[in-house]
Amino acid sequence: MTCSWLLAAALVAQVASVPIDRPKGEKKVEEAPPEPPDTGLYYHRYLQEVINVLETDSHFREKLQAANAEDIKSGKLSKELDFVSHHVRTKLDELKRQEVSRLRMLLKAKMDATMEQSVQIDHLGLLKQFEHLDPQNQHTFEARDLELLIQAATKDLENYDAAHHEEFKRYEMLKEHERREYLKSLDEEKRRAEETRFQELRQKHKEHPKVNVPGSRDQLKEVWEETDGLDPNEFNPKTFFKLHDTNSDGVLDEQELEALFTKELEKVYDPRNEEDDMLEMEEERLRMREHVMKNVDVNQDRLVTLEEFLKSTEKKEFNEAGGWETVDETQVYSEAELQRFEAELAAQEAELGRRAEQLRLQHQDLQERQVQLDAQKKEYQQAVLQMEQRKTQQGEAPAAPGQGEELKFQAQAPHAAPADPAAPASPEQNHLEPPQNQQPPQAEVQIQ
C-alpha cells in the first residue's frame, strides 16, 4: 500500500508506508502489504474500504501525499473528492449504500429485541446517531461523508485509549470483588491460608529485574544490544530509528513503538506464571506507548518523526536512569470506586434474579397449561373411542340364526268340522281357510 496508510494515520491512527525516493539503479523489492490493524471501531471495515478505494485514484493520492495531518483532520482534503474519477465515485457510492444497509439491519435487530413488532421504526432519525456518514443522503458518497468519516474516526480514536483504561479498571475491580466473595465462602482457617497464598503470589510477581522508563536511553540501548545485537557503546539514535522504522515510511507508528517495549514487558510478565496476568501486560504496553507519545510526539498526530525522535534524545529526562512504575505498583482504582462497582453488580444481579423469577413463573404456567392440555387431549381421545364403539354397536343386526343355519316350516292339518264319516273329504276342502275364530296352524320349526 502506498498512500492509504497516510490517510489512515489521521483516520485510524495507523500508518504503513509512503512512497520513498530510491536511487534509479536500485531494484525495488516487492513486499506484500501488511494487513492494517483493527482499530476497534464499529465502522472499521467501511473506513478501510473507503481508504482502499481512494488510494486507486491518482489525483487523490497525489493530494494526499502533499497534505499534512492537520489538512486531513480539518476536512480540507475532503474537497478533493470532487475531482476523483467517475468509477471511484461509483465505488464509494456503493460502499455507502452497503454501510447504510448494514446500519439499518443493526438498528432493526436492536429494535426487534426491545420493542413490539408492530412499532414503526424511524430509520432516518436513528441513523443520525451515527456520526461517520451523512444520513440525509443515503445513496451517494459526497465530500461531506469523507469529512464526517475523518472527524468521527479522529474523535473516536482519541477516546479509545481512555475507554480501554476504563475497561481495564472494571476488570481489576471485578477480580478483587470475586476474590473477596470467595474468601467469604471459606471458614476462618482456609481464609487465612488463601490470604497468605495471595500475598505470596503478589510478592513473587514483584520480584523482577528493573524496568527501564520507556523511551529512555537505558531502555533503547537495551533493545539495541539484546534485540538488534549491536554494541551498546556504539548506540546511535538516528541508526536506531531507521532500524525500527520497519516499513521505511519515515515515522514510527504506534505498533512500531509498542514493539520496542517487548523486552521490558518480558521482565515482568510470563504467561507460564500463575501470578502474571496477561491482560495487565497489555495495559502496561498501552501505558508505555502513551508515555512515549506524550514526551516525543510534539504535534500529537500519533506518529513519531525522525526529527521528533532526535529532539527527545536531547532532553534531560532521556538520560535519567530511573525505573518504570508497573501497573501492580499503581492504584488503578480506589476503595470508593470498588464499592460503587459492587453496588452496580448487586443491582444487576437483583435485576437478573427478578427476570429469572419471571421466567420461572412463566415456565411453571406453561407446564400447568401443558398438563391441562394433556388432560383435555385424553378426554377427547376417550370420547372419540366411545363414539366409535357406539357406531359399531348400532351397525350390527338383531340376534339372528348363525351362519349356515336354515329355517324349515312344517304345517299342521287344520281342525276340520265334523262331517259324514262316510263321505270322504274332497281335495278342495283340505285347502279351505280356517274360520275367523280359529287360530292359524302352528309352524313347527326344525333346526338342522
How confident is the prediction along the chain (448 residues), in pLDDT tens digits per residue? Answer: 334 444 554 444 433 333 333 344 444 444 444 555 556 677 888 888 898 898 888 888 888 777 766 677 667 778 888 888 888 989 999 998 888 888 878 777 766 666 555 555 555 566 666 778 887 787 888 888 888 888 888 777 777 888 889 999 999 999 999 999 999 999 999 999 999 999 999 999 999 999 999 999 999 999 999 999 999 899 999 999 999 999 888 889 888 999 999 999 999 999 999 999 999 999 999 999 999 999 999 887 788 999 999 999 999 889 887 889 999 899 999 999 999 999 999 999 999 999 999 999 999 999 999 999 999 999 999 999 999 888 888 876 555 555 545 545 455 555 544 555 444 555 444 444 455 545 555 544 444 4
User: Is-above-0.75 flag for pTM?
Assistant: no
Residue 446: predicted pLDDT: 47
Rg (CA), the chain: 48
Torsion of CA 252, 255, 259, 262, to 10 degrees: 140
C-alpha cell at 310: 532526535
Cβ pair 12, 47 in contact under 8 A: yes
Cβ pair 414, 441 in contact under 8 A: yes
Residue 359: predicted pLDDT: 94
Residue 406: predicted pLDDT: 52
For 417, other C-beta atoms within 10 Å of its C-beta total 8
- Using the structure block, give the residue that is written with the C-alpha cell 479522529: 154
Residue 399: predicted pLDDT: 54
Cβ pair 303, 9 in contact under 8 A: yes
